[in-house]
Structure 1
Amino acid sequence: MKSKLFFYISLLLIHSGIALVVFILPFFSKIYAVIIPIIGFFYVYKTKNKNNEVLVVCAYLVGAEVLIRMTGGNINNEYIKFCVILFMLVGMAYSGFSVKSIFFWLFLLLLVPSILVTASTDDYGVDVKKYLVFNLSGPICLGVSAIYTFRRNVRFLDLQYMVVAMGLPIFTTAIYLFLYNPSVQDVIKSTQSNFETSGGFGPNQVSTVLGLGMFVFFTQLLLFSKSKILLVINGFIVLLISYRAIVTFSRGGVITGVVMIVVLLSILYFYSRAQIRQKFIYIFLLTGLMGIAVWSYTSAQTSGLIEKRYSNQDAAGRSKKDRLGGREAIMDIEFKTFMDNPILGVGAGMGKQVRKDKLGINVASHNEITRMLSEHGIFGLFGLLILFITPFILYIKNRQHLYFLSFYFFWLLTINHAAMRTAAPAFVYSLSLLLVQIRNQEKDINSLN
């Protein structure tokens, strides 16, 4: 027990140190980005992927993506997605894949027609390669990851190792944000998403990954804190990450993280024995107090502007007509584009040209659902149906997967406000397809006692 505690604390200290080094020596971010897959390949090669080590490596890469991108360590914007795809293929080479994953092979095939439409464009101003890579790297990452994880057996404890591997670099991201912007009060002047509190990077992506981090360390707090020291450490990290997520002033990731936590608590309550349910009163109370504390502190630090942000008001307290920051207009155009091109769509990435013609400015889609419809037509609709339905078919015989609904809602909510700009929604979706086994259900689920 003491050795595990020491190892966990050591990992947290190491990842705090990484944040400090990257802040002082920004070039280290590029080294960090290259070292992760190198060590990852050595790790997978050494273990022969006997316990799905590729998923641990991919989880770490996904957790580190936003930090690497905000500090200039990325080789290109799709670097982490390509790494995840490559590791999943390596995993398949070692451990194969289920023949029943045909649904996701079909999903990948459904992307082909839109590729052909884009490739056949006669608009010389269109960079076909760039359009295809930017818009299809996310769906392809999801499809390949899903093929590997579909019906793959893992222990619940091994799943938690993956979750923690994803959370450690997110913790690093939060520490880096404190170093980059130690005083929130000095930079918060309005209710708009704030780049200063987001490390100079996109608040939407930062909020998304921090929301995921909220869930990761909440699971550590709730299910794997068997000592007072761990309770204090994990509770502090949850509060720290939650605070940095809220002050990005980007609501999507925070709301998604809260939904994931609420869903997990509901699942645990539903599957617990009657005498255990009584103790959930204290858990709900503690969770509520933590939420009130971090919100109250944030409100004080932002002079009440955070309440106005979540009430959809400007700094003067006037209600905004647009509740989704301009996304309604984009979604409306994409729906109309689908209705005008219902069979093949306008082609992968070509929605950007349509939006530019309609709005007069270059604007990327924030919603993967409407983008799939407008750019892929009916093939995109069928692809979405596969993604929506397949996990629930699997879940019927996979009730020991305690994180299933949380993972599924992370994917669903994230693609609605941040599309698939990062690898996180694709990878987390694939984790919902694992067949999770809790060897000692009473001991593992009720370890919060």
Structure 2
Amino acid sequence: MGVDFVYSAVLSRPIKPVFFYWSLFGFYSLILLIPDSFGFFAAVLVILSLGVMLWQRPLRFLGEDRIFACLLVAFPLLMVPSLLINGGDWSYFDYPVRALLFIPLIVGLRSFVEPLRARGFLFFGAGTGGITAAVFSAKSLLIDKVVRVGLPITNSIPYGQIAAILALISFAGIFIFTTKFARFYLFAGFFASLFALYASGSGGALLGFAAGWSIEVFLIAWRLARRQIQKYWFIFFTITVVILFPLFSSKFIQTVNEVAASLDGGGMGTSNGGRFYLILISVKSFLANPLLGVGPGNGHQVIANYCSNHFCSPGFVNWSGVHNQYFDVLMTTGIVGLTGLLVFGLGIAWMFFSLVKRNSANISAICGGSIVVAMLVSAFPQPLYHHNISVISFFFTISFFWYLSSEPVEGQFLKSSA
């Protein structure tokens, strides 16, 4: 009887779409301001989606959603052979498997949420998130000078990666919304996100943003509203260079010096020098185990074995994996695992850009595809699967944008004014 009462109470008090909208807004607006806020709103969104799956009928899960889900599972699935043959750590699957949260999210969104309203909350949440991140970054730089930017929210690497995502979303939103207030707000969110990216000092996030933003600018400028973007382009480009060039120049000089020192036999204790040695170690390990690698989660053993036979600086001994997602996967799961990672990343990007090919004015698809490319590029000098906040933000973001870009919504697409 008690179970029947609870069940009838759930059904009599259906979830309201407004809970989805404000959770979307909260997820992005507070992610780089309040520690663990992303986890709270992510959990709320998943619970809401599961609730929709419980009582909402009919449920919508499109054919292309199934393809998207299969691409998401490709990476963890192709790590399994290495685990079965070489052994390893099942916890290594934790972050890749979280991609499957896409399924309840996309079902909940498609079955219950109005895309037009969800789009507004998402984009304005990202703009607000950029502004709050800039405030937090300024506080870190000016007041908490001894604390690395990003702490206590997260490490500076995912902090920069998420700031890049917020910037890409805010930039795309400028060309979706037509009111002066919306454009000004997202304009401010874009440059505030860039400041947070600069403050993070994350070189990988900078490279990822440059790749993703180049795609956005090219597709929006040349396929959408040429006259419209000409009014903003010079301002965007100039301010962006002013904000990010100091980070680019300092990272470039640092990388050249530290890699040069590594080539001369030193530099192991430096950031980029350590990465250089880790890549060499991973390549040597891969050549010895090319097909399936050494096993998921066993990369630290390879590094420990190297240091038992070679001199390693104290800081280098503590590295648990290669700070390059691709070489780390090659070392641990070999060609099979890397194939899964590439099928996932390139396949998801292809699905977004296939929507752009169908309708070149689908800005949500352009934004989603650019975010995927940005994260794939940022994974070269930095890991993508080492921090919960970056994994959740990435998978949730591509899920949200897949929903927005594949739903026919009035006002979703802009016509070219060229």
Q: Provide TM-score, normalisation by structure 2.
A: 0.69
1:411 and 2:357 aligned: no
> Which of 239, 248, 255 is matched with 2:191 structurally?
239
Give yes or no for contact 2:49–2:105 (8 Å, CA) kept in 1: yes
Q: Tell me the distance in 1 between the aligned counterparts of 2:21 and 2:339.
A: 28
Greater helix fraction, Structure 1 or Structure 2: 2
Cα distance, 1:375 vs. partner? 1.7
Cα distance, 1:195 vs. partner? 4.8
Q: List per-residue Cα deviations over 1:245-271 (Å, max 9, x = no partner).
A: 213322222332233233112111232
Q: List per-residue Cα deviations over 1:150-194 (Å, max 9, x = no partner).
A: 9x868466345334445544543332232343269xx5xxxxxx9
Amino acid at match of 2:278: I
Q: Tell me the distance in 1 between the aligned counterparts of 2:322 and 2:28.
A: 21
1:161 and 2:129 aligned: no
Q: Tell me the distance in 1 between the aligned counterparts of 2:376 and 2:219.
A: 18
**Aligned twin of 2:336:** 379
Q: Tell me the distance in 2 between the aligned counterparts of 1:444 and 1:264.
A: 15
Cα distance, 1:347 vs. partner? 1.8
Cα distance, 1:402 vs. partner? 2.7
Cα distance, 1:287 vs. partner? 0.9
Shift of the 311–372 alpha-carbon distance from structure 1 to 2, 3 Å rule, reads: closer
Cα distance, 1:309 vs. partner? 0.9
**Aligned twin of 1:220:** 173
Shift of the 307–112 alpha-carbon distance from structure 1 to 2, 3 Å rule, reads: closer
**Aligned twin of 1:138:** 95
Q: Provide TM-score, normalisation by structure 1.
A: 0.65
**Aligned twin of 2:251:** 310
Shift of the 230–80 alpha-carbon distance from structure 1 to 2, 3 Å rule, reads: closer
SS of the residue corresponding to residue 46 of structure 1 reads coil
Amino acid at match of 2:192: L
Give yes or no for contact 1:88–1:145 (8 Å, CA) kept in 2: no
Counterparts in 2 of 1:255-270, with a 5 A limit? 255-270=207-222
Q: Tell me the distance in 2 between the aligned counterparts of 1:231 and 1:78.
A: 29
Shift of the 419–284 alpha-carbon distance from structure 1 to 2, 3 Å rule, reads: same
Cα distance, 1:207 vs. partner? 1.4
SS of the residue corresponding to residue 406 of structure 2 reads strand
**Aligned twin of 1:350:** 298
1:436 and 2:406 aligned: yes
Q: Tell me the distance in 1 between the aligned counterparts of 2:52 and 2:383.
A: 28
Shift of the 214–334 alpha-carbon distance from structure 1 to 2, 3 Å rule, reads: same
**Aligned twin of 1:332:** 280
Q: List per-residue Cα deviations over 1:362-384 (Å, max 9, x = no partner).
A: 21332222222222234313312
Cα distance, 1:406 vs. partner? 0.9
Shift of the 294–106 alpha-carbon distance from structure 1 to 2, 3 Å rule, reads: closer
Give yes or no for contact 1:268–1:445 (8 Å, CA) kept in 2: no
Amino acid at match of 1:428: T
Cα distance, 1:217 vs. partner? 2.4
Counterparts in 2 of 1:288-303, with a 5 A limit? 288-295=237-244
**Aligned twin of 1:113:** 81
Quote the RMSD (CA, aligned, Å). Answer: 4.3
Q: Tell me the distance in 2 between the aligned counterparts of 1:249 and 1:448.
A: 38
Amino acid at match of 1:208: Q
168-177 or 403-412, which deviates more: 168-177
SS of the residue corresponding to residue 328 of structure 1 reads helix
Give yes or no for contact 1:408–1:432 (8 Å, CA) kept in 2: no
**Aligned twin of 1:286:** 235
**Aligned twin of 1:38:** none
Q: List per-residue Cα deviations over 1:187-224 (Å, max 9, x = no partner).
A: 5xxxxxx9534446522122112122222322333432
**Aligned twin of 2:396:** 427
* Identity across the alignment (%): 15
Give yes or no for contact 1:114–1:347 (8 Å, CA) kept in 2: yes
Structure 2: runs of 5+ lacking an equivalent: 1-9, 263-270, 357-361
Shift of the 96–337 alpha-carbon distance from structure 1 to 2, 3 Å rule, reads: farther
Give yes or no for contact 1:225–1:448 (8 Å, CA) kept in 2: no
Q: Tell me the distance in 1 between the aligned counterparts of 2:142 and 2:178.
A: 29
Q: Tell me the distance in 2 between the aligned counterparts of 1:56 and 1:366.
A: 35
Amino acid at match of 1:223: I
Give yes or no for contact 2:353–2:369 (8 Å, CA) kept in 1: no
Amino acid at match of 1:362: N
SS of the residue corresponding to residue 366 of structure 2 reads coil
Q: Tell me the distance in 2 between the aligned counterparts of 1:355 and 1:161.
A: 45
Q: List per-residue Cα deviations over 1:284-335 (Å, max 9, x = no partner).
A: 1121232244358xx5xxxxxx464133249xx9675269453232223223
Structure 1: runs of 5+ lacking an equivalent: 1-40, 122-127, 188-193, 300-305
Q: Tell me the distance in 2 between the aligned counterparts of 1:427 and 1:407.
A: 12
**Aligned twin of 1:209:** 162
Number of matched residues?
365
Amino acid at match of 1:312: I
Shift of the 241–395 alpha-carbon distance from structure 1 to 2, 3 Å rule, reads: closer
SS of the residue corresponding to residue 355 of structure 2 reads coil
